[in-house]
């Protein structure tokens, strides 16, 4: 049973929410005594409020303006997705993010994102302070709860770092009144990631291997997140955000951490489609997830408000049509006769229609991830996906994201508004991530022959999944497209050099994790954002999407967002702006 309710989250939001002009100076709005807050019940409520911040600390539909699922920060800024919606003026701030034009420090949605993440940090710090003030006799689970709070605090700081890079970093020992005196350049990227990784390591020491309640952080979740932070840190960045070197010792540490996570008994789900089914959300692939629910005794339930905008316009959802897969992403799923990706030629022609799909072999994950014309939409029986599902096709085309939406027939779907709202969890880390992190580290260590089996495990799951059937199919093998996927066989169907293994790994992450909010951060970590976005994506995509005519990624600037001007003002000018935004 998912253990925290929206009502409780909203109740504790009242005394942990911040006035924006006061930054993080969170003073109680009601008169809640220290005696109450230091009680086992009060401390547990503070802990639950910190977990609630994973879904957005405002706890309501406002989360779509600063989504914790990172769809706009991690995919719309990459080559995998368009903003979508009702045209470029519909949430123009997101249009600026997508085109890298007009991303100013005065952008209110950036200030909102920064603010909400520090609100979340403050919730963790508040809970840690209270936990430090009690004994294990008073709170028997004191150390476990400290591990959970250190885990969550490290998660919020990790998000801040990969979004803004230069951030103020502090713990529970810093008084409220000192926040504005902490420089955002006291620590560099490497030092911040090192502290975050250490925080996850400390959390792992305190946390149990399993928890009695789904959604609470475990030892293995902390070890996995430590691996992720260490992987990011291994790519040392120059002042212009390009990659200076790859730290071999840190890559070895990633391998060791991933090996420890494997001891937790995780595995891939048998079928790729199960990733979009509530029945499997806390299954063997889930390492750590944001827990959502409906019919939990509250009004609408604790649904995923971050994805409020992203359901298609079609009759099954009647949504806002944001977050549409790009043509580049769709083309990426093409495969050759050998069932492998077309690394060099995938984007030479566009895969547009069902007819194209039959003529061209594709990875079966395409139609689990993307809504395409003429293709069956999950188990919706009224009609296949048609033109009416797209809200603004002249600007953004006809594709829709399919991955994080439950079936229109699912009992876990909210009927009507909020469109597409459901109880489906958002996976912050799933085991496919862990396998690919380990494979990436092995490749960078020159041990690519050990990595191929890990990549093949993920490809084998896709190969063995139940493929999408054709509309009005004639039988169980009458598929919607010409699905063809196979495993890498070094010396047989591929020459498995380090360079080729690296290319395969990076492409596999694109295919497997598409629309999961990770792609842009991958490109920045690898130091190839300029090459991919300017050299491969905008150069061609602007001929399909006219609004991308002037889109341009600026190396040395656009890897990170600007520090919000409101926060620079709050610090009295102490905070320094990121390069390129002055």
- Res 39: pLDDT: 82
pLDDT greater than 80 at residue 281:
yes
- Res 35: pLDDT: 65
Confidence of residue 10 (pLDDT cuts 50, 70, 90): very low
Question: What would the pLDDT profile of 514-528 be if each residue is shown by its tens digit?
Answer: 999 999 999 999 999
Q: How far apart are CA 444 and CA 433, in angstroms?
A: 16
The H or E element spanning position 148 is helix 142-164
User: Which of the pair, 404 or 8, is modelled with greater confidence?
Assistant: 404
Give the pTM: 0.94
- Res 41: pLDDT: 86
Q: Which whole-number Å values give the CA distances from 211 to 1, 186, 220, 288, in the listed order? A: 12, 36, 11, 12
pLDDT greater than 80 at residue 79:
yes
pLDDT greater than 90 at residue 62:
no
Mean pLDDT is lowest, of 84-98, 121-135, 171-185, 321-335, for 171-185
pLDDT greater than 90 at residue 299:
no
pLDDT greater than 90 at residue 179:
no
Please give the DSSP secondary-structure letter assigned to residue 289.
E
Axis crossing angle, helix 498-512 with helix 431-444, rounded to the nearest 10? 160
Q: 578, 565, 545: which is closest to 76 by C-alpha?
A: 545
Residues 378, 502: contact at Cβ < 8 Å? no
Q: How far apart are CA 430 and CA 561, in angstroms?
A: 26
CA atoms within 13 A on the CB side of 375: 28
What percent of the chain has a predicted confidence (pLDDT) above 70? 92
Residues 109, 93: contact at Cβ < 8 Å? yes
- Res 354: pLDDT: 64
Cis peptide before 418 (omega within 30 of 0): yes
Question: What would the pLDDT profile of 245-255 be if each residue is shown by its tens digit?
Answer: 999 999 999 99
- Rounded to the nearest 5°, which phi and psi values hold at 486? -140, 175
Q: How far apart are CA 22 and CA 154, in angstroms?
A: 23
Confidence of residue 176 (pLDDT cuts 50, 70, 90): confident
Residues 188, 194: contact at Cβ < 8 Å? no
- Rounded to the nearest 5°, which phi and psi values hold at 83? -60, -45
Q: How far apart are CA 65 and CA 380, in angstroms?
A: 29
- Res 498: pLDDT: 98
Q: 526, 502, 437: which is closest to 224 by C-alpha?
A: 437
- Res 26: pLDDT: 39
- Report the alpha-carbon angle 150-151-155, nearest 5: 115
pLDDT greater than 60 at residue 21:
no
**Tokens at 34, concatenated:** 């220290």
Confidence of residue 154 (pLDDT cuts 50, 70, 90): very high
Q: How far apart are CA 226 and CA 259, in angstroms?
A: 12
Q: What is the dihedral of CA 230, 159, 165, 510, to 10 degrees?
A: 70
Residues 462, 364: contact at Cβ < 8 Å? yes
Q: How far apart are CA 371 and CA 239, in angstroms?
A: 40
pLDDT greater than 60 at residue 435:
yes
Residues 406, 278: contact at Cβ < 8 Å? yes
pLDDT greater than 60 at residue 27:
no
Q: How far apart are CA 283 and CA 492, in angstroms?
A: 35
The mean of the pLDDT values for the chain is: 92
Mean pLDDT across 529-545: 96
Residues 527, 379: contact at Cβ < 8 Å? no
* Residues composing the chain: 582
pLDDT greater than 70 at residue 116:
yes
pLDDT greater than 80 at residue 358:
no
Q: How far apart are CA 390 and CA 388, in angstroms?
A: 5
Q: How far apart are CA 312 and CA 369, in angstroms?
A: 13
Provide the β-strand partners of residue 427: 289
pLDDT greater than 90 at residue 301:
no
Residues 432, 285: contact at Cβ < 8 Å? yes
Confidence of residue 359 (pLDDT cuts 50, 70, 90): confident
Q: How far apart are CA 306 and CA 327, in angstroms?
A: 24
CA 24 vs. chain centroid, Å, equals: 25
How many CB atoms are closer than 10 A to CB 66? Answer: 21
pLDDT greater than 80 at residue 15:
no
Domain 305-548 has CATH 1.25.40.390: yes
Axis crossing angle, helix 108-132 with helix 40-52, rounded to the nearest 10? 160
Contacts of 44 (CB under 8 A, 6+ apart): 145
Question: What would the pLDDT profile of 220-235 be if each residue is shown by its tens digit?
Answer: 999 999 999 999 999 9
pLDDT greater than 70 at residue 22:
no
Provide the β-strand partners of residue 237: 243
**Tokens at 320, concatenated:** 């806002």
- Res 356: pLDDT: 65
User: Which of the pair, 286 or 12, is modelled with greater confidence?
Assistant: 286
Mean pLDDT across 281-307: 89
- The domain limits of the chain are 305-548
Q: How far apart are CA 526 and CA 506, in angstroms?
A: 9
């Amino acid at each position: 049973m998912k253990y925290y309710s929206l009502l409780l989250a909203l109740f504790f939001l009242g005394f942990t929410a911040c006035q924006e002009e006061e930054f993080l100076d969170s003073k109680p709005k009601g008169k809640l005594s220290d005696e109450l807050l230091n009680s086992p019940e009060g401390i547990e409520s503070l802990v639950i409020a910190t977990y609630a911040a994973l879904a957005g600390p405002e706890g309501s539909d406002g989360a779509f303006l600063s989504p914790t699922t990172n769809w706009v920060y991690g995919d719309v800024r990459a080559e995998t997705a368009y903003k979508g919606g009702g045209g470029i003026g519909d949430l123009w701030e997101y249009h600026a993010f997508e085109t890298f034009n007009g991303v100013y420090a005065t952008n209110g949605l950036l200030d909102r994102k920064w603010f909400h993440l520090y609100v979340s940090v403050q919730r963790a710090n508040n809970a840690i302070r209270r936990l430090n003030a009690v004994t294990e006799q008073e709170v028997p689970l004191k150390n476990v709860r400290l591990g959970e709070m250190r885990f969550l605090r490290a998660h919020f700081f990790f998000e801040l770092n990969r979004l803004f890079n230069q951030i103020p970093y502090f713990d529970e020992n810093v008084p409220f009144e000192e926040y504005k005196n902490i420089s955002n350049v006291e620590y560099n990227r490497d030092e911040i990631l090192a502290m975050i990784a250490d925080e996850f390591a400390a959390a792992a020491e305190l946390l149990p291997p399993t928890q009695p309640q789904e959604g609470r952080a475990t030892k293995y979740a902390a070890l996995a997140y430590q691996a992720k932070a260490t992987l990011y840190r291994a790519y040392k960045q120059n002042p212009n955000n390009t990659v200076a070197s790859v730290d071999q010792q840190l890559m070895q540490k990633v391998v060791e951490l991933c090996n420890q996570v494997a001891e937790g008994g995780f595995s891939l789900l048998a079928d790729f489609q199960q990733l979009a089914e509530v029945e499997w959300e806390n299954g063997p692939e889930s390492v750590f997830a944001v827990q959502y629910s409906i019919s939990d005794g509250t009004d609408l339930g604790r649904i995923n408000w971050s994805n409020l905008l992203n359901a298609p316009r079609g009759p099954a959802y009647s949504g806002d049509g944001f977050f549409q897969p790009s043509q580049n992403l769709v083309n990426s799923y093409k495969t050759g006769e050998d069932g492998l990706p077309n690394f060099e030629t995938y984007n030479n022609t566009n895969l547009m229609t069902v007819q194209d799909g039959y003529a061209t072999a594709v990875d079966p994950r395409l139609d689990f991830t993307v809504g395409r014309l003429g293709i069956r939409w999950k188990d919706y029986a009224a009609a296949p996906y048609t033109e009416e599902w797209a809200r603004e096709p002249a600007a953004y085309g006809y594709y829709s994201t399919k991955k994080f939406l439950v079936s229109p027939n699912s009992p876990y779907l909210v009927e009507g508004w909020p469109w597409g709202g459901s109880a489906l969890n958002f996976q912050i880390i799933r085991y496919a991530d862990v396998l690919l992190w380990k494979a990436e580290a092995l490749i960078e260590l020159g041990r690519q022959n050990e990595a191929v089996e890990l990549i093949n495990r993920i490809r084998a799951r896709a190969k063995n999944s139940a493929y999408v059937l054709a509309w009005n199919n004639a039988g169980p093998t009458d598929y919607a497209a010409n699905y063809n996927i196979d495993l890498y066989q070094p010396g047989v169907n591929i020459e498995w050099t380090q360079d080729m293994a690296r290319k395969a790994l990076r492409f596999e992450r694109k295919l497997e994790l598409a629309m999961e909010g990770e792609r842009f951060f991958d490109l920045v970590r690898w130091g190839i954002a300029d090459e991919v976005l300017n050299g491969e994506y905008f150069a061609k995509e602007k001929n399909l999407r006219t609004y991308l005519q002037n889109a341009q990624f600026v190396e040395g600037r656009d890897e990170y967002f600007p520090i919000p001007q409101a926060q620079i003002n709050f610090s009295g000018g102490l905070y320094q702006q990121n390069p390129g935004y002055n």
